[in-house]
Amino acid sequence: MDVDLIVLGSGTAGVKVATRCRVAGWRVALVEARQFGGTCALRGCEPKKVFWTLAEAAERAQRLSAKGVGGGGGVTLDWAAAQRFKRSFTDPVPESRRESLERAGIIALHGQPRFLGPDRIAVDGQEIRFRHALIATGAEPAELPIAGRENLSTSDDFLSLEDMPKSLVLLGGGYISFECAHLARRAGAEVTILEGGDRPLAPFDEALVARLVEKTRALGIRVELGCKAAAIRADAGGFRVECGDGRSFAGAMVLHGLGRRPALSGLGLEAAGVPVEKGRLLLDPYLRSTGNERVFAAGDAAAQGPALTPVASHDAAVVARNLLEGCHTKPDYSVVPSAAFTLPPLAAVGLTEAQAKERGIDYELREGDMADYQSVRRTGEDTAAYRLLVAPGSGAILGAHLLGPEAPDSINLFALAMRAGMGAEALSRMMTAYPTGGSNIASMLG
């Protein structure tokens, strides 16, 4: 079979590039080694947000039980029922995704792809010759130099649990560990987070992370710092994690939250002349392989920007344009909002205070507590705050960091302002629907 483009991976990036090129008249094939749909729709942000929505609803009912929500104090997160609800979203995805590809005229293949040469690939014995290829295979948990690592479970396993274990130990203090920890705790589990360094959630604002850690501990989640896992041993009824400093922690399940890497194994990249260094593809500024100009990458497999679904969409637009129009477009990761869906959630865009100091960038810090804001107080949440970095003189927004119930939505307004070049004064004058999280921005900037 000869094609103009073969896409490896059926997630956000792969499907967008395949569809765009097919609309342009290209002959396109797409290969998926797992279920059609990709990480975000099946094993990542979308199913996670379903669980988060249920956990947030249960907790809000508890917080407001004395304020007029009848029976709210007895509302809990029923994990088994939540799992069934989540599957109403995820179960239809593989067949639906495959059918949509085929309706678009894209050849959908299932199997493990392997390059045979710079312009050839095999899928379960079928050889395909291509003009271009896109590696959009996503990411997978990083391999860890820890004895007993075969005892680790992943976030995939966690989101597929039929019943919540009585206890969990989560390795790493990143957003995966914190999000899973908050869900598990609200489903009744005893939870411990082990962070090898002196602070978790490193990409986020340090002061707001400190508040979130305090809140996390108040919920009954243990957050142990300076605890680097050295071994995982089978123990009665579960496992025991041994740290290098002699501490140890037991749990019925131990979860890998120590980072992910591009999923490149089994692709036979050497045969295609596609170089890899330290587990990452070597790409030029146009997301094209430095060793084979036929081959591009996007999303988590490219690992050029933050590992987020909107970044995969952005990469896809860049690659599609470069394929169809020639390599003139470079990705722009300068303004990428992100959120950790804990309870309350944490959100950020732009520079942190630490980054501004490190780069010698002058800034004015505007910060405050939001627990008494109407939009927060009415939810019963007692932990909410903001920290904004504004350039002196110009008023340009350098960074925005929010902790509170509507933080993930409100951060998008800051991101939009930064993209549009709207400074703090102009943003503070923007009319917003009131009372909402967005209407708090004027008070933050005032």
Q: Write out the binding residues for NAD(+).
A: 172-179, 195, 259
Please name the helix (run of DSSP H) or strand (run of DSSP E) that holds residue 317, with its range, or none: helix 309-325
User: With contact defined as beta carbons under 8 Å apart, do 133 and 9 qualify?
Assistant: no
Name the amino acid, one letter, at 316: A
Instruction: Report CA Rg, the chain.
Output: 23
User: With contact defined as beta carbons under 8 Å apart, do 150 and 22 qualify?
Assistant: no
DSSP 3-state assignment of 326? coil
Number of residues in the chain? 446
Among candidate residues 445, 418, 441, 421, the one with its CA nearest the CA of residue 431: 441
* 273 φ, ψ (degrees, to nearest 5): 70, 30
Write down the H helix ranges in 280-438.
309-325, 353-358, 374-377, 407-420, 424-428
Helices (H) and strands (E) in the chain, counts: 15, 23
Among candidate residues 269, 291, 264, 294, the one with its CA nearest the CA of residue 280: 264
User: With contact defined as beta carbons under 8 Å apart, do 301 and 264 qualify?
Assistant: yes
Q: 186 CB contacts (<8 Å, ≥6 apart)?
A: 55, 58, 59, 76, 77, 219, 343
Name the amino acid, one letter, at 74: G
User: With contact defined as beta carbons under 8 Å apart, do 152 and 255 qualify?
Assistant: yes
Q: What angle do CA 173, 140, 155 make, to 5 degrees?
A: 50
Residue set of the binding site for FAD: 49, 300
* 52 φ, ψ (degrees, to nearest 5): -60, -40
Neighbouring-strand partners of residue 128? 121
User: With contact defined as beta carbons under 8 Å apart, do 301 and 14 qualify?
Assistant: no
Among candidate residues 250, 255, 272, 247, the one with its CA nearest the CA of residue 173: 255
Name the amino acid, one letter, at 420: A
Residue set of the binding site: 49, 172-179, 195, 259, 300
Name the amino acid, one letter, at 413: L
Residue by residue, DSSP assigns 336-357 as: --EEE-SSS-EEEEE--HHHHH
Neighbouring-strand partners of residue 400? 349, 388
Q: What count of other Cβ atoms lies within 10 Å of the Cβ of residue 362? A: 10
